[in-house]
């Protein structure tokens, strides 16, 4: 069996594909993958906002084969890299068995712990999806220009 066909790799790949399909359904202006493995995110996504601009988000995608529950542990390194960036970070957890998605914003003041960060998750069902899409399309999601 090839390393590319392990169960963990297949779960990871399926979760990334479901994430890409989800952002395509939201009308993403672009979805790109980093050219380096160590950036801490899997996708860079651009969503048109309500003022005709583009909001950009770094998305860390994690796959699981069961319901992740209300919180998901993310390595401290990945959490810090996205939570302390000028691009808003999103954790997208995908239950690949049920094709169910969950999200959590990666904000520095919402995590505690030394080795890992516990990120609160919201299920992307009907009301959760509508609220998330509204947050993505807000025109003031960016950061102030330095200087």
Domains of the chain and CATH, by start: 3-137 (3.40.1350.10)
- Write 48-55 long-range contacts (CB < 8 A, 24+): 48/137, 49/137, 49/138, 49/139, 49/141, 50/137, 50/138, 50/139, 51/139, 53/139, 54/29, 54/30, 55/88, 55/136, 55/137, 55/138, 55/139, 55/141, 55/142
Q: What is the pLDDT of residues 76-131, one digit of tens each?
A: 888 988 888 889 999 999 999 999 999 999 988 766 667 888 999 999 998 999 99
Asked whether the beta carbons of 22 and 46 are under 8 A apart, the reply is no
In whole angstroms, give the CA distance from residue 142 to residue 56: 8
The percentage of residues in the chain with a pLDDT greater than 90, rounded to a whole number, is: 58
**Which pLDDT band, with edges at 50, 70 and 90, does 4 fall under?**
low
Q: What is the pLDDT of residue 113?
A: 65
pLDDT tens-digit map of 11-60: 889 999 999 999 999 999 999 998 877 777 899 999 999 899 999 999 99
């Amino acid at each position: 069996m090839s390393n590319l066909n392990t169960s963990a790799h297949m779960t990871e790949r399926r979760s990334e594909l479901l994430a890409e399909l989800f952002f395509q359904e939201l009308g993403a202006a672009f979805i790109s993958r980093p050219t380096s493995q160590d950036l801490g995110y899997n996708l860079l996504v651009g969503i048109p906002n309500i003022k005709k601009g583009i909001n950009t988000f770094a998305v860390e995608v994690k796959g699981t084969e069961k319901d992740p529950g209300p919180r998901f542990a993310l390595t401290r390194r990945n959490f810090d890299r996205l939570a302390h960036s000028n691009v808003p970070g999103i954790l997208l957890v995908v239950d690949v068995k049920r094709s169910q998605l969950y999200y959590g914003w990666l904000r520095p003041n919402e995590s505690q712990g030394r080795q890992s960060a516990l990120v609160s998750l919201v299920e992307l069902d009907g009301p959760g999806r509508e609220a998330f899409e509204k947050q993505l399309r807000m025109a003031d999601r960016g950061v102030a220009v330095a200087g």
